[in-house]
Amino acid sequence: MILPEYITQCLNALEAAGFAAYAVGGCVRDACLGLTPQDYDLCTAALPEQTEAVFSDHKLVLAGKKHGTVGVVTPFGVVEITTFRREGEYLDNRHPEWVEFVPDIVQDLARRDFTVNAMAYSPIRGFADPFGGREDLKNGILRAVGDPLQRFREDSLRILRGIRFAVRYGLSVEDATMQAMLSQAHLMDNLARERVFEELNKLLPLVDAQDLLAFGPLLGAVIPELMPLIGFDQRSPHHAYDLFTHVAHVVAGVPREPALRWAALLHDIGKIPTFTQDETGRGHFYGHAPKGAEMADSVLRRLKAPTALRQQAVTLIEKHMTRLIPEKKTLRRHLGRLGWETVEQLLALQEADMGSKGTGKPEEMAQFPQIRSILEEIRAENACLALKDLAVNGHDLMQLGFTGKAIGQTLNILLEQVIDEKLPNEKDALLTFAKEL
């Protein structure tokens, strides 16, 4: 394994002072996979004060010192150096009761979550890999360190981390580890919601349909609204898949943008409470889009998702049944109301939705490239689609004698006229029309 020069220098400085030191965790895993690590974490037998002394000629970041971490400022970024430590019992499924600095790296590696994350490397000492992380990587296996039941009981966030690592590196979860993930999934109720959101938000852009199907019940443990979708028969001639399989294909079918992926994941949760059957037994879901939007809003609030992401996802879900059609005028109106980003995401969602029914109707899918080419035409025209593009503004209307609410109302009327190509976007024409109003 080849380490960057500045990392080797940090390790050498610690070793020269008599302390064992290694690169550890994600960087070792990524290097073993032939990937370039995003950052390098170091660990050492030196106590935090001793690390401070070794790097006394550097600027240091000491915010994490209590937990054993000293940040050394180098021209290549802050290198975090953490003292080997051992953890006490976890009584709250989240945090250890105590941590203790130890001289032995094996104890430090033993507290880590998965064998592939529990490896260290030093140019002087070689690999420390007491749990067979390299062997597991070679065989494509994700395995908990030690007793999987105990490890997920200690910290149930590891369940979501495990899914993320399995998906990111295409590893299959070893049997006992998977069983323990499933049996301890309920403990994820105790986690801080924002940590759950953060993990899911990192996961969603990575997944394909098979990943979602494999981990569906675990996602259902943190988003209970998803659980009834699994295996749900829609009793519809339009849908060959059960509802969750459909959703899994829609998620995988949209671009890897977080808000869009969330929208895809939650777009049909409103189908459960709105489900009805007619006399022939066929299923209907009247009003499932607004209902789903309302439910998604509450899911994303509960998970403390950022407001902008939540609102974007909710808008997409609310509008997912309002089919875009290949007609310039209506597309211009949608662009005026929703903006480019939302219209493009909505189109992607509708295309994936339509394409994921398992009943393959090519004639329905043909409209999507048509809509895209009309959108390109509109973009090329650089047309006026929003108030900010209009050739008149509120000030112009005030000079004509408009006051109060009438200003905004009139601007909107003018915009509609321009979008519908009934008026040119020219100041004189717009003001003349406004006067007549």
The residue number with the shortest CB distance to Mg ion is: 26
Give the shortest CB-39-to-Mg ion separation in angstroms.
Answer: 6
The rounded distance, in Å, linking the Cα atoms of 398 and 393 is 9
With CB under 5 to 8 Å by kind, the binding choice for 267 among Mg ion, ligand ATP, none is none
Q: Between residues 202 and 235, which has the closer beta carbon with respect to ligand ATP?
A: 202
Q: Between residues 80 and 344, which has the closer beta carbon with respect to ligand ATP?
A: 80
Q: Between residues 26 and 48, which has the closer beta carbon with respect to Mg ion?
A: 26
Contacts of range 197-204, beta carbons closer than 8 Å, 24 or more positions apart: 197/303, 197/304, 197/305, 199/157, 199/160, 199/161, 199/164, 200/160, 200/303, 201/258, 201/262, 201/305, 201/309, 202/164, 203/160, 203/163, 203/164, 203/167, 204/251, 204/258, 204/261, 204/262, 204/265
Give the shortest CB-388-to-Mg ion separation in angstroms.
Answer: 41
DSSP 247-287: HHHHHHHS-S-HHHHHHHHHTTTTHHHH-EE-TT--EE-TT
Exactly one of 20, 26, 187, 264 binds Mg ion (CB under 5 A); that residue is 26
With CB under 5 to 8 Å by kind, the binding choice for 155 among Mg ion, ligand ATP, none is ligand ATP
Give the shortest CB-117-to-ligand ATP separation in angstroms.
Answer: 3
Contacts of range 290-296, beta carbons closer than 8 Å, 24 or more positions apart: 290/318, 292/266, 292/267, 292/268, 292/317, 292/318, 292/320, 293/317, 293/318, 294/270, 295/225, 295/266, 295/269, 295/270, 296/262, 296/263, 296/266, 296/267, 296/269
Give the shortest CB-83-to-ligand ATP separation in angstroms.
Answer: 14
With CB under 5 to 8 Å by kind, the binding choice for 158 among Mg ion, ligand ATP, none is ligand ATP
Q: Between residues 180 and 243, which has the closer beta carbon with respect to ligand ATP?
A: 180
Calculate the CA 82 to chain-centre distance. 28
Contact between 113 and 156 (Cβ < 8 Å): no
User: Is 37 one of the binding residues for Mg ion (CB under 5 A)?
Assistant: no
The tokens describing 376, both together, are 């390109």
- To which residue do tokens 């200003």 refer? 407
Give the shortest CB-138-to-Mg ion separation in angstroms.
Answer: 22
Q: Between residues 99 and 383, which has the closer beta carbon with respect to ligand ATP?
A: 99
Q: What is the CA radius of gyration of the chain?
A: 28
Give the shortest CB-38-to-ligand ATP separation in angstroms.
Answer: 6
Tell me phi and psi for residue 422, to 5 degrees: -90, -25
Q: Between residues 37 and 216, which has the closer beta carbon with respect to ligand ATP?
A: 37
Q: Which residues bind ligand ATP (CB under 6 A)?
A: 25-26, 38, 41, 112-113, 117-118, 155, 157-158, 161
With CB under 5 to 8 Å by kind, the binding choice for 211 among ligand ATP, Mg ion, none is none
Stretch that binds Mg ion, among 22-30, 80-88, 165-173, 412-420 (CB under 5 A): 22-30
Give the shortest CB-262-to-ligand ATP separation in angstroms.
Answer: 20
User: Is 133 one of the binding residues for Mg ion (CB under 5 A)?
Assistant: no
The rounded distance, in Å, linking the Cα atoms of 40 and 205 is 24
Q: Between residues 13 and 28, which has the closer beta carbon with respect to ligand ATP?
A: 28
Q: Between residues 112 and 319, which has the closer beta carbon with respect to ligand ATP?
A: 112
With CB under 5 to 8 Å by kind, the binding choice for 418 among Mg ion, ligand ATP, none is none
What residues line the site for Mg ion (CB under 5 A)? 26
